[in-house]
Structure 1
Amino acid sequence: MKKFIHYTFLFLTSVAGLLFFMAFPRLFAFRVEGSEHLGFKLAAFFKALAATAAQFFEPSSWNFFESWNQETVIDRYTYSLEIIFVSLLFTVFIGSLIAYLFMNLPYKQRTKVKHVLNFFEGLPNLLIIFMMQMLLFTIYREFNLRLVTMYGLAGKEPLIFPMIINSILPLLFFAQFLIKVMEEEYEKHYILLGQAKGLSKIQLLFIHLTRNIIPVVFIHFKTIIFLVLTNLVLVEHMFVLDGYIQELYKLLLTHGVSPAKILFYVGVFMMPVIIVERLVTFYGKKAGIARGIDI
């Protein structure tokens, strides 16, 4: 019952947010026709909010499945989901690799590595995209070597480069989180007991420590999932990719589009992501209970 109330409230707040988003531009208007000064028009805003909400109850507003169930829309949908899930796999692999290599470094070197991770994690995505573009352009100009396809042109949509760009900040964030969890776990008594018994550092890290941090990592992995998702908006726009974000953008620019249609398009896109997030969280809780870890 508690979960039912939670998800019902979540759905209602999502609908309310969508209605507010669609009616929000009507809140502002020029004070005098031809003037450059904007003013507030609360009456127009509430009128637009009521009119938008009323569209939910119009039968014609719910005739949108045929427009979504087209080959071009499905191709964009699957392409964007492919970028998201490949980015997640790349994030987990590279982030884990960085964390485990970090734990095998001498203690004095770890502080320097942390400074490097903090520096790159603080860089904005736009700067990272620009730096990688310049690097690839320089390699192509000097050596006539095209390492990856960057832009979606002539019907060919790239995967590797958008996936790398989409994963850079999430994998750095994931590596930092994993390092923090590992360092805290490495100070516990069972690690000291294993060292006293003569177990190697690799055995302690990959067998005992990893099994104990999996529940905590899985529970907090939802942050990485939604970070990858939000980065996709920037990546598809910057690299002219014909993905599902472009489809949503065109839909929002369509005059008179019903809120039910927007809600369906966004919901269909978010559903696989939410399912994966729920499965990861569920597995993390089960693994925590099995190992007697209170999360």
Structure 2
Amino acid sequence: MKKLVHYILLSLTSVAGLLFFMSFPALFTFRGGDSEHLGIKLSAFFKGLAETSTQLIKPSSWQFFEGWFRETVIDRYTYSIEIIFVSLLFTIFIGSLIAYAFMHLSYSHRSKVKHFLNFFEGLPDLLIIFMIQMVLFTLYREFHIRIVTMYGLAGKEPLIFPMIINSILPSLFLAQFLIKIMEEEFEKHYILLGQAKGLSKMQLLFTHLTRNIVPIVSIHFKTIIYLVLTNLVLVEHMFILDGYIQELYNLMMEQGASPASILFYVGVFMLPVFIVERLVTFFGKNAGKARGLNI
């Protein structure tokens, strides 16, 4: 019952957020006829909110299924979903590789790696993607070296490059999280007992420590999923990819776009992401219970 109420409230707040988002521009208006200064007009905002809410419950605004099932929309949808889920695989692989390599470093080198990860964590996502973009531009312009196809041209969209770019920052975040958990786990008694028995660090890491941190990582993996999702907006825009984000943008820029159609388009896009997030969380909780962890 508690979970049912939670999901009902989650759905209601999502719809309320959409209505607020669509009505928010009406809050601002120019002062006077020819003024260049913006002012706030609450009455226009509430009027826009009421009109948007009315449009949402009108049956005539629900006729959007035919538009979504067009071939171009389906292609954009599958392309973006493919980028998201393969980016998650890249994120898990790169983040885990960094974390396990870190645990094999000497203590004198670990602090340098932590400073490096902390430095990149503090940089805005947009800046890092822009820097990568500029490096690839320079290599091609100065040395005629094209490492990857960056842009979608002539109906052919790149796959590997946006997936890698989309997973760089989430993988660094995952690496930081894994390093923190591993270092804490390495101080526990079962690790000390394994060291006393003469087990190698490799055996301790991959056989014992990994099994204990998987439930904790699974529970917090939703943060990684939504990092990948938000980075997709930047990647598709900066590299001119004809993905589903472009479809959402075109829909929202339409004059008098139906709130119901926007809610449907966003909901269909988020549904597989939400399902994966729920499955990972469910797996983490069950794995934790099997190992006697209270999570």
* TM norm. shorter chain > 0.5: yes
Deviation of the 1:47 alpha carbon:
1.4
Match of 2:294 in 1: 294
| C-alpha distance in structure 2 between counterparts of 1:183 and 1:9, whole Å | 38
| C-alpha distance in structure 2 between counterparts of 1:219 and 1:144, whole Å | 45
Deviation of the 1:257 alpha carbon:
1.1
| C-alpha distance in structure 2 between counterparts of 1:138 and 1:24, whole Å | 41
Q: Which deviates more from structure 2 when the two are superposed, residues 138-147 or residues 237-246?
A: 138-147
Q: What are the equivalent positions in structure 2 for 1:106-145 lying under 5 Å apart?
A: 106-145=106-145
| C-alpha distance in structure 2 between counterparts of 1:26 and 1:143, whole Å | 50
Q: What are the equivalent positions in structure 2 for 1:132-171 lying under 5 Å apart?
A: 132-171=132-171
AA aligned to 2:63 is N
Where structure 1 has 5 or more consecutive residues not aligned to the other structure, the ranges are none
Q: Which deviates more from structure 2 when the two are superposed, residues 229-238 or residues 40-49?
A: 40-49
Match of 2:31 in 1: 31
AA aligned to 1:269 is F
Match of 2:260 in 1: 260
SS in 1 for 2:39: strand
AA aligned to 1:261 is S
| C-alpha distance in structure 2 between counterparts of 1:122 and 1:78, whole Å | 32
**Cα deviation code 1:244-286 (max 9, x no counterpart):** 0000001111111111110000000000000000000000000
| C-alpha distance in structure 2 between counterparts of 1:51 and 1:133, whole Å | 42
Q: What are the equivalent positions in structure 2 for 1:45-60 lying under 5 Å apart?
A: 45-60=45-60
Q: Which deviates more from structure 2 when the two are superposed, residues 134-143 or residues 113-122?
A: 134-143
What percent identity do the matched residue pairs reach? 78
**Runs of 4+ that moved beyond 6 A:** none
AA aligned to 2:81 is L
SS in 2 for 1:147: coil
AA aligned to 1:139 is L
Match of 1:85 in 2: 85
AA aligned to 2:188 is K
| C-alpha distance in structure 2 between counterparts of 1:137 and 1:21, whole Å | 36
Deviation of the 1:157 alpha carbon:
0.6
| C-alpha distance in structure 2 between counterparts of 1:6 and 1:43, whole Å | 32
Q: Which deviates more from structure 2 when the two are superposed, residues 211-220 or residues 52-61?
A: 52-61
Q: What are the equivalent positions in structure 2 for 1:172-211 lying under 5 Å apart?
A: 172-211=172-211
Residues 106 and 79 from structure 1, CA distance in 2 versus in 1: closer, same or farther, beyond 3 angstroms?
Answer: same
SS in 2 for 1:131: helix
| C-alpha distance in structure 1 between counterparts of 2:144 and 2:137, whole Å | 9
Deviation of the 1:211 alpha carbon:
0.3
| Residue 63 in structure 1 maps to residue 63 in structure 2 | yes
| C-alpha distance in structure 1 between counterparts of 2:128 and 2:26, whole Å | 36
Deviation of the 1:136 alpha carbon:
2.2
SS in 1 for 2:236: helix
AA aligned to 2:140 is Y
| C-alpha distance in structure 2 between counterparts of 1:15 and 1:140, whole Å | 46
Q: Which deviates more from structure 2 when the two are superposed, residues 68-77 or residues 139-148?
A: 139-148
SS in 1 for 2:29: strand
Where structure 2 has 5 or more consecutive residues not aligned to the other structure, the ranges are none
CA RMSD of aligned residues (A): 1.1
TM-score (ref. length: structure 1): 0.97
AA aligned to 1:102 is F
Residues 206 and 46 from structure 1, CA distance in 2 versus in 1: closer, same or farther, beyond 3 angstroms?
Answer: same
| C-alpha distance in structure 2 between counterparts of 1:23 and 1:135, whole Å | 40
| C-alpha distance in structure 1 between counterparts of 2:28 and 2:46, whole Å | 12
SS in 1 for 2:146: coil
Deviation of the 1:34 alpha carbon:
1.1
SS in 2 for 1:255: coil
Match of 2:74 in 1: 74
Q: What are the equivalent positions in structure 2 for 1:4-15 lying under 5 Å apart?
A: 4-15=4-15
